[in-house]
Amino acid sequence: MSESETVNENMLFGMGNPLLDISAVVDKDFLDKFGLKPNDQILAEDKHKALFDEIVKRTKVEYHAGGSTQNSVKIAQWMIQEPHKVATFFGCIGSDRFGEILKTKAEEAHVDAHYYEQNEEPTGTCAACITGDNRSLVANLAAANCYKKEKHLDLDSNWELVEKAKVYYIAGFFLTVSPESILKVAKHASDKNKLFCLNLSAPFISQFFKEPLMKVMPYVDILFGNETEAATFAKELGFETDDIAEIAKKTQNLPKVNTKRQRVVVFTQGKDDTVATVGERVTMFPVVDIDQNDIVDTNGAGDAFVGGFLSALVQEQALEECIRAGHYAANVIIRRVGCTFPDKPDYH
């Protein structure tokens, strides 16, 4: 860590869907039965109810604390190590066993989690259906979908934690839950010249939640996404190009409220180079080489990249350094099941 920047508690703020990941290796028949693509993220519908019953009966099923934003802030905290509770997390859970697991896991990760707890819906889950190095995610938001701005974010004790932060990160997934909460945080960041980061998260966000997405976009300082999400976003906005560098440039140039900061756009492409806007240029950053045989599970790779990136960003490091930290974290996570990590990073 650089000497220049001291890191304090609650400096990084995340808000999103806290989910318990139920992860299992499945076969193509399983995917076909539930109409799943090998590599995708979707919201559960009625036809997926049986999937959750079936996946827990698989031989090797694992339970991990998940939820895209929560994964990212945990990884940022893991990369930073000390002090604890640099990362704050808000989201909604149920008053149940899965909720208790999420609380315990957040504590173990030294994340300052403040959950809004309600008992109308159970804690949300995400079925991670693994085939080879693909993962198909089916999220049953349940409680996560019950987050209420006025019942949680607006409370003085909670809003004070928002004000303490200087970097904010919210996955696009939360646009389906509480766009008004996202806007309140985004406007605060913009007004105070702090950093607001958003993730495109999944193709369905650009397709079906384009309106709330574009309401938040003028406040976005750093936008993350992968190659598929970038292509879908470009299509929805009528960019008329499938060149990823061109898409990054056009996205950078979308309207922005805080003109003191030029928007940065970062698109990951799996094992291919990460694409990022650096000032007026678009630059390619190669990822760390990895042997196919060492890839256990790509679930959480994108979240890990963002987590590593945020850990360097909170320390006010240059974009190149943020991307390098992101690549390191993703490389660690894909060698393990779920979005899990060893005790300490081995990162310099």
Among 206, 13, 32, which Cα is nearest to 114's? 13
pLDDT value of residue 300: 84
Please state, rounded to an integer, the average pLDDT across all residues of the chain: 94
Q: Residue range 278-283: average pLDDT?
A: 94
The pLDDT-based confidence of 338 (bands split at 50, 70, 90) is low
Q: Does pLDDT of 88 surpass 60?
A: yes
- pLDDT per position as a tens digit, 239-278: 999 999 999 999 999 999 999 999 999 999 999 999 999 9
Q: Does pLDDT of 64 surpass 90?
A: no
pLDDT value of residue 134: 85
Name the residue with higher pLDDT: 34 or 135.
Answer: 34
Q: Is residue 270 part of a domain?
A: yes
Q: Is residue 222 part of a domain?
A: yes
pLDDT value of residue 6: 86
pLDDT value of residue 342: 76
Whole-angstrom Cα distance, residue 181 to residue 304? 24
pLDDT value of residue 2: 44
Name the residue with higher pLDDT: 60 or 140.
Answer: 140
Name the residue with higher pLDDT: 334 or 191.
Answer: 191
Q: Does pLDDT of 322 surpass 80?
A: yes
* Total domains present in the chain: 1
Q: Is residue 242 part of a domain?
A: yes
Report the amino acid identity of residue 70: Q
pLDDT value of residue 56: 86
**Those residues with Cβ within 8 angstroms of residue 204's Cβ, 6 or more apart along the chain or in another chain:** 41, 42, 43
- pLDDT per position as a tens digit, 90-122: 999 999 999 999 999 999 999 999 999 999 999
Q: Does pLDDT of 216 surpass 80?
A: yes
- Annotate 71-119 with DSSP letters as a single string: HHHHHHHHHH-SSTT-EEEEEEEESSHHHHHHHHHHHHTT-EEEEEEES
Domain boundaries, position 318:
12-18+67-121+142-334
Q: Is residue 136 part of a domain?
A: no
Q: Which residues of 234-255 are buried (b: 16+ CB within 10 A; e: fewer)?
A: bbbbebeeeebbebbbbbbeee
Tokens representing 308? 């590593």
Q: Is residue 149 part of a domain?
A: yes
Whole-angstrom Cα distance, residue 237 to residue 242? 12
Among 44, 161, 42, 158, which Cα is nearest to 92's? 158
Whole-angstrom Cα distance, residue 151 to residue 31? 38
What are the respective helix, strand and coil percentages of the chain, to the nearest 5?
A: 40, 25, 35
Q: Is residue 218 part of a domain?
A: yes
Q: Is residue 193 part of a domain?
A: yes
- pTM of the entire structure? 0.93
Q: Does pLDDT of 193 surpass 70?
A: yes
Is residue 160 within a helix (H) or strand (E), and if so which, with residue range?
helix 156-164
Q: Does pLDDT of 290 surpass 60?
A: yes
**How many helices (H) and strands (E) would you count in the chain?**
12, 14
Q: Is residue 59 part of a domain?
A: no
pLDDT value of residue 212: 98
**What CATH number is attached to the domain comprising 215?**
3.40.1190.20
pLDDT value of residue 339: 67
The pLDDT-based confidence of 292 (bands split at 50, 70, 90) is confident
Name the residue with higher pLDDT: 2 or 124.
Answer: 124
Report the amino acid identity of residue 244: I
The pLDDT-based confidence of 281 (bands split at 50, 70, 90) is very high
Q: Residue range 271-290: average pLDDT?
A: 94
Q: Does pLDDT of 49 surpass 70?
A: yes
Within 10 angstroms of residue 324's Cβ, the number of other Cβ atoms is 19
Q: Residue range 203-220: average pLDDT?
A: 98
Which are the catalytic amino acids? Answer: 303
